[in-house]
Amino acid sequence: MVELLLLGPGNVRGNPREDAGHGCRRRRLAAAGAFPDAHGGQGPQHRLRIPHGMVVMNQRAVLLLAVWLLAACAPGGAPVETQAPAVEANGDTSAQTVLSSDGVRIHYDDLGAGDPVLVFVHGWSCDRSYWSGQIEHFAQSHRVVNIDLAGHGDSGLDRAEWTMQAFGEDVSAVVTALDLNNIVLVGHSMGGKVIVEAARRLGDRVIGVVGADTFHRGARETPRERQEEVFGQLAEDYAGFISDFVDRTFVEQSDPAIREWVRADMAAAPYASAVGARQASGSYDATPAVASLNVPFVLINSDFLPTDIAHLEANAKQFLYLEMSGVGHFVMLEDPETFNALLSAVLADIT
Residue 71 domain-assigned?
no
Q: Which residues lie across from 121 on neighbouring strands?
A: 147, 187
Residue 41 is predicted with a pLDDT of 38
Residue 68 domain-assigned?
no
Residues 125-169 pLDDT 10s: 999 999 999 999 999 999 999 999 999 999 999 999 999 999 999
- The domain tally of the chain equals 1
Residue 249 domain-assigned?
yes
Mean pLDDT across the stretch 30-48?
Answer: 37
Mean pLDDT across the stretch 219-232?
Answer: 76
DSSP 8-state secondary structure symbol assigned to residue 8: S
Of 1 and 239, more confident? 239
Residue 281 domain-assigned?
yes
Residue 38 is predicted with a pLDDT of 36
**Separation of alpha carbons 48 and 340, rounded Å:** 17
Residue 295 domain-assigned?
yes
Q: What is the CATH number of the domain that holds 305?
A: 3.40.50.1820
Residue 36 is predicted with a pLDDT of 45
Q: 122 — phi, psi (to 5°)?
A: -75, 180
Residues 49-90 pLDDT 10s: 333 444 554 443 444 354 344 434 444 433 333 333 332 333
Residues 281-291 pLDDT 10s: 988 999 999 99
Amino acid letter, residue 122:
H
**Separation of alpha carbons 230 and 232, rounded Å:** 5
Residue 232 is predicted with a pLDDT of 75
Residue 259 domain-assigned?
yes
Of 256 and 241, more confident? 256
Q: Are 339 and 299 in contact (CB under 8 A)?
A: no
Residue range of the domain that includes 287 = 95-350
Per-position DSSP letters for 50-117, written without gaps between them: -TTSEEEESTTHHHHHHHHHHHHHSTT----PPPPPP-SPP--TTEEEEE-TTS-EEEEEEE---SSE
Residue 72 domain-assigned?
no
Residue 226 is predicted with a pLDDT of 76
Residue 65 is predicted with a pLDDT of 54
**Separation of alpha carbons 251 and 22, rounded Å:** 16
Residue 138 domain-assigned?
yes
pLDDT at 312 over 50: yes
Mean pLDDT across the stretch 230-235?
Answer: 74
Please, which residues have CB within 8 angstroms of residue 248's CB and are 6 or more apart in sequence?
Answer: none
**Separation of alpha carbons 81 and 58, rounded Å:** 29
Which of 126-130, 165-169, 171-175, 233-237 is the least confident region?
Answer: 233-237
Q: 2 — phi, psi (to 5°)?
A: -105, 130
Which of 20-29, 113-122, 178-187, 237-246 is the least confident region?
Answer: 20-29
Which of 2-6, 274-278, 330-334, 338-342 is the least confident region?
Answer: 2-6
Residue 246 is predicted with a pLDDT of 94
Residues 15-38 pLDDT 10s: 222 232 332 222 223 333 444 443
Q: What is the mean pLDDT of the chain?
A: 79
pLDDT band at 221 (very low <50, low <70, confident <90, very high): confident
pTM above 0.85, yes or no: no
Beta strand 95-99 with 105-111 is: antiparallel
Residue 94 is predicted with a pLDDT of 66
Is the Cα torsion angle 306, 120, 67, 253 positive or negative in sign? negative
E strand or H helix at 197: helix 190-202
